[in-house]
């Protein structure tokens, strides 16, 4: 296959010999779990976000689950959240036998609309779970005015900053980050909960380790817990990735700028690009998602791009229209029109730190060709 027809992947992690060396250190130490790399990785987040505490967990989903438990979510409660997200944000509430109550999104930022969230609150509402979708800061300050516990899904937003200069995840609420291979940093699988108080840190540390308190041996546990630990091997990768973070964010910004420039040079009619940073908010670039013209078949576009060597994918399905949520909670089409419109038209284009300007130009050229065919 020639360079012109090489497949451009939708995502690709950035890893080097430094990650390999740190992993080998852990392997040779024989201390693969519950070792010194876990607190070292946690400290890197404390330093980055300016929060008092952080807790490493096995995934972003695990972090959301433990965060909602710490917020007091339990049987019969309601959690107001966005239907435009990866399904894990809603699933975490269901794990505790609570009901995810969806509210529609802002058509520009694609984040939870604070007015819609306020209208969805009832006497059963125990927590709010805003999602910083695609790395753009949710309007957390407006949601704070509702006076309810907040657990932030910041799984896509490492490096994002609120208008007041506070890093996303640094406002004191439990805020969850994730490290799947397409995220700003990766440990393969893994997550981190940024935490604002000692009691929540103690609880999450215990519950991620089967409910064992720090001073207890493995034969005794004083609360229900889970196996949500993150290994020292993964943390070793994460430590190096956090050292790389400024560079990785810079490269993601470079690729995003290249996309904007390529589309601006020859605009595609009715194609919606990711919103610009506004009012002092700054995105931590995660994916480059565009909304296709309404006259275009999204799935056929994805197939046509694939035939041209360009990977892309739908991003994201509307959670309330998934079969489980229809059947379990009675959600139906038409309830959240902004989400449904955006979801039906959105695709993620190839986006990763090592992506070249030439690759960006090829993606834009092929997309334009498919849309005008």
**330 and 264, same structural domain?**
yes
CATH code of 158's domain: 3.40.640.10
Is 80 inside any structural domain? yes
User: What's residue 278's pLDDT?
Assistant: 97
**207 and 147, same structural domain?**
yes
Report the C-alpha dihedral over residues 26, 29, 34, 40, rounded to 10 degrees: -50
**165 and 55, same structural domain?**
yes
**286 and 255, same structural domain?**
yes
d(CA 56, CA 37): 10
**222 and 257, same structural domain?**
no
d(CA 206, CA 222): 9
HSE-up (13 A, CA, CB side) for residue 80: 28
* Terminal alpha carbon distance of the chain: 24
Is 5 inside any structural domain? no
**253 and 231, same structural domain?**
no
Sequence-ordered alpha helix ranges (H) in the chain: 17-29, 37-49, 60-70, 88-95, 114-120, 140-144, 198-207, 232-265, 298-307, 323-329, 337-345, 357-372
Long-range own/partner contacts, residues 163-167 (CB < 8 A, 24 or more apart) = 163/137, 163/279, 163/280, 163/281, 164/280, 165/280, 166/50, 167/48, 167/49, 167/50
What is the sign of the dihedral through the CA atoms of 259, 264, 266 and 268?
A: positive
Coil vs helix vs strand at 181: coil
**258 and 196, same structural domain?**
no
The catalytic position among 12, 183, 201, 313 is: 183
Contact 104, 339 (CB under 8 A): yes
d(CA 327, CA 322): 9
Is 3 inside any structural domain? no
Q: Given 225, 241, 257, which residue is the final one in a domain? A: 241
CATH code of 342's domain: 3.90.1150.10
User: What's residue 2's pLDDT?
Assistant: 45
**79 and 184, same structural domain?**
yes
12 is an active site residue = no
d(CA 284, CA 49): 13
Pairing, β 152-153 against β 175-178: parallel
Instruction: Kindly list the averaged pLDDT for each block of 10 residues, start to end, along the chain of length 373.
Output: 74 98 97 96 98 98 98 98 98 98 98 98 98 98 98 98 98 98 98 98 96 80 94 98 98 98 95 97 98 96 98 97 98 98 98 98 98 91
Is 10 inside any structural domain? no
d(CA 316, CA 122): 27
User: What's residue 61's pLDDT?
Assistant: 98
Pairing, β 125-129 against β 78-81: parallel
Is 304 inside any structural domain? yes
User: What's residue 373's pLDDT?
Assistant: 85
Q: How many domains is the chain partitioned into structurally?
A: 2
Domain, as residue range, for 321: 245-372
User: What's residue 219's pLDDT?
Assistant: 74
**184 and 202, same structural domain?**
yes
Is 192 inside any structural domain? yes
**189 and 140, same structural domain?**
yes
Contact 289, 134 (CB under 8 A): yes
Is 27 inside any structural domain? yes
**285 and 198, same structural domain?**
no
d(CA 108, CA 103): 15
CA 79 to chain centre: 18
Q: Given 193, 217, 241, which residue is the final one in a domain? A: 241
d(CA 345, CA 84): 13
**328 and 304, same structural domain?**
yes
Q: Given 215, 241, 267, which residue is the final one in a domain? A: 241
User: What's residue 4's pLDDT?
Assistant: 53
User: What's residue 217's pLDDT?
Assistant: 75
């Amino acid at each position: 296959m020639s360079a012109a027809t090489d497949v451009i992947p939708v995502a690709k992690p950035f890893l080097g010999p430094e990650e390999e060396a740190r992993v080998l250190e852990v392997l040779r130490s024989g201390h693969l779990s519950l070792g010194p790399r876990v607190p070292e990785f946690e400290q890197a987040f404390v330093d980055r976000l300016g929060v008092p505490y952080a807790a490493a967990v096995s995934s972003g989903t695990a972090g959301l689950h433990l965060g909602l438990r710490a917020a007091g979510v339990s049987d019969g409660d309601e959690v107001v959240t966005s239907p435009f997200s990866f399904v894990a944000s809603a699933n975490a509430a269901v794990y505790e036998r609570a009901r995810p109550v969806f509210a529609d999104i802002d058509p520009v930022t694609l984040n939870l609309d604070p007015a819609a969230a306020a209208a969805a609150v009832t006497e059963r509402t125990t927590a709010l779970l805003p999602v910083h979708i695609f790395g753009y800061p949710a309007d957390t300050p407006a949601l704070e005015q509702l006076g309810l516990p907040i657990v932030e899904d910041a799984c896509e937003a490492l490096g994002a900053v609120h208008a007041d200069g506070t890093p996303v995840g640094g406002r004191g609420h439990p805020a969850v980050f994730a490290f799947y291979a397409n995220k700003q940093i990766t440990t393969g699988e893994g997550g981190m909960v940024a935490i604002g108080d000692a009691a929540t840190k103690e609880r999450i540390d215990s519950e991620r380790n089967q409910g064992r308190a720090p001073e207890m041996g493995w034969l005794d546990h004083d609360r229900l817990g889970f196996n949500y630990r993150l290994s020292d091997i993964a943390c070793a990768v994460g430590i190096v990735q956090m050292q790389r973070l400024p560079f990785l964010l810079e490269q993601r910004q470079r690729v995003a700028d290249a996309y904007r420039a390529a589309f601006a040079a020859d605009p595609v009619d009715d194609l919606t690009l990711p919103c610009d940073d506004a009012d002092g908010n700054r995105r931590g670039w995660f994916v480059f998602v565009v909304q296709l013209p309404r006259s275009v078949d999204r799935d056929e576009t994805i197939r046509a791009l694939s035939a041209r060597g360009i990977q892309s994918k739908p991003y994201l399905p509307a959670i309330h229209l998934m079969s489980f949520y229809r059947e379990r909670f009675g959600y139906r089409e038409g309830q959240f029109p902004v989400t449904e419109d955006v979801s039906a038209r959105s695709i993620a284009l190839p986006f990763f730190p090592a992506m070249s300007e030439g690759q960006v130009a090829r993606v834009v050229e092929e997309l334009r060709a498919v849309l005008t065919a």
